[in-house]
Structure 1
Amino acid sequence: MSNSDGFIEEVTEELRRDQMMAKLKRYGWIGVLAVLLIVGGAAYSEYRAAQARAQAESLGDAMLGALESDDAAERVAALETVEAPSPTADAVLALLTASEQVAADDTDAAVASLESVSLNAEVPQVYRQIAQFKALTLQAETLDAATRKQGFEALSGAGGTLRLLAQEQLALIAIQENDPETAISTYQGILSDAGVTPDLQQRALQVIVALGGDPDLNGAPTDDNNG
């Protein structure tokens, strides 16, 4: 290699280094920003998680504090002062408040609290279903059978969290309407369902026998399936 060739290579290498440094100076901030975003995102996620835990703990402490009184009306009043940080937390608070309103013999207020949950589209479905179920059962003496039946039929649909309990309520309505055949058929369907619990299975058996029916246990799940 001639001296001129070596000189040219040295100059070329120097130019490459200069170009690389220029690019780093010009675009290096992108890499730095990417690192900051990653680190900042992780820190923000941790902050949000810690904030959510703190809110949950604060809400739990507030609800426990509200339940310290021996008087149901006072517990209700205390719960009504608690502020929930989210729709889901508000649903839990409303369900608890409704329970205490029932204890305070204020059924109308309890129903109103429950309906505020069941009609709130921002609340997870399971809470809405629980609220609707409780509201319907609380109005067993004041709400007409047709309306209650419609509500329980909606809850008894496939996949519903409370479907079997709703079916049991439909059977009880059938008994109230002097329709034992429908009641027995409904209870038999409960017996044959793979999701039936031992307690509900026992109640179904007792009512079928009390109505003069003959329980069919061929399709009923065994205790192993239930436990």
Structure 2
Amino acid sequence: MSDTDSFIDEVTEEVRRDRMYLLLRRWGWVGVVAVILIVGGAAFNEVRKARETARAQSLGDEILAALSENDSAARAAGLQGIETQSAGGEAVLNMLLSASQIEAGSEPDAVASLNAIAVQGDLPEIYRAIASFKALLLQTDTMPVADRRLQFEALAAPGAPLRLLAEEQLALIDISEGNVDAALDRLQALRQDAEIGIDMQQRAAQLITALGGEPDPLVAQQG
């Protein structure tokens, strides 16, 4: 390599370095800000997780303290005094509260606690359906039959998580209204449902027999 080529290479390298330093002086702050944001974001997430954990532990301690009461009315009162900061925590609290209210003989209050869960739109459907189902069972003797039928029909909609249990309750409503044929048709269809469990299948067969019918032979169901 000649001296001229060597000199050109050195000048070229110097120009590259000068450009790099210029870029760093002009845009280097972007990298610094990016690092700060990444580190700050990680720290914020850790703090948020720690706060959520602390809240959950505090809620658990309060619930356990309330449930330690021997008297059901005292348990219900203790649970009612607990404040929650999440939809899930509120649902758990209301479910436990309804159980204590039932034990205390305050079924209207238990129904209100369960209905509070049923209308929480940010909860998974299964939890809302369970709460609604339990509330309806508690109102067997107090809610008009037509209203109960309407609500159980909503729970029996295709794809609903408690569809089969709701169908069973609708058959019982048919029986209470003296509509034996409708009850038999519903129970026979229920026994043939591909999703039915053995226990419910047996209950349906027993009801059919008690109503004077004969359970249809089970159709082979593909797994």
Q: What TM-score do the two structures reach when normalised by structure 1?
A: 0.88
Q: Equivalent residue for 1:194?
A: 194
Q: Equivalent residue for 1:92?
A: 92
Q: Equivalent residue for 2:178?
A: 178
- Give 3-state SS (helix, strand or coil) of 2:105's partner: coil
Cα pair 1:190 1:201 within 8 Å, conserved: yes
Question: Separation in 1 of the partners of 2:221 and 2:173?
Answer: 25
Q: Equivalent residue for 2:150?
A: 150
Q: Equivalent residue for 2:15?
A: 15
Matched, 1:30 2:36: no
Deviation track 1:65-111 (CA, whole Å, cap 9, x = no partner) reads: 21111111001000001111212211121121111111111111111
Change (3 A) 1:190 1:55: farther
Question: Separation in 1 of the partners of 2:59 and 2:24?
Answer: 51
Task: Using the TM superposition, name which of 69-78 and 26-35 deviates more.
Answer: 26-35
Give the CA deviation at 1:221.
Answer: 5.3
Q: Give the alignment of 1:80-159 within 5 angstroms.
A: 80-159=80-159
Question: Separation in 2 of the partners of 1:191 and 1:36?
Answer: 63
- Give 3-state SS (helix, strand or coil) of 1:219's partner: coil
Task: Using the TM superposition, name which of 175-184 and 116-125 deviates more.
Answer: 116-125
Give the CA deviation at 1:154.
Answer: 0.3
Cα pair 1:191 1:220 within 8 Å, conserved: no
Give the CA deviation at 1:128.
Answer: 1.8
Question: Separation in 1 of the partners of 2:57 and 2:197?
Answer: 33
Give the CA deviation at 1:166.
Answer: 0.7
Q: What TM-score do the two structures reach when normalised by structure 2?
A: 0.90
Give the CA deviation at 1:175.
Answer: 0.6
Residue identity over aligned pairs, in percent, reads: 49
Give unmatched runs, 5+ long, in structure 1. Answer: none
AA matched with 2:129: Q
Question: Separation in 2 of the partners of 1:92 and 1:81?
Answer: 14
Cα pair 1:191 1:217 within 8 Å, conserved: no
Matched, 1:54 2:66: no
AA matched with 2:58: S
- Give 3-state SS (helix, strand or coil) of 1:160's partner: coil
- Give 3-state SS (helix, strand or coil) of 2:59's partner: helix
AA matched with 2:146: A
Deviation track 1:108-143 (CA, whole Å, cap 9, x = no partner) reads: 111111222222323332222112111111111011
Task: Using the TM superposition, name which of 204-213 and 26-35 deviates more.
Answer: 26-35
Task: Using the TM superposition, name which of 110-119 and 37-46 deviates more.
Answer: 37-46
Moved >6 Å (runs of 4+): none
- Give 3-state SS (helix, strand or coil) of 1:82's partner: coil
Q: Give the alignment of 1:183-222 within 5 angstroms.
A: 183-219=183-219
Question: Separation in 2 of the partners of 1:152 and 1:50?
Answer: 42
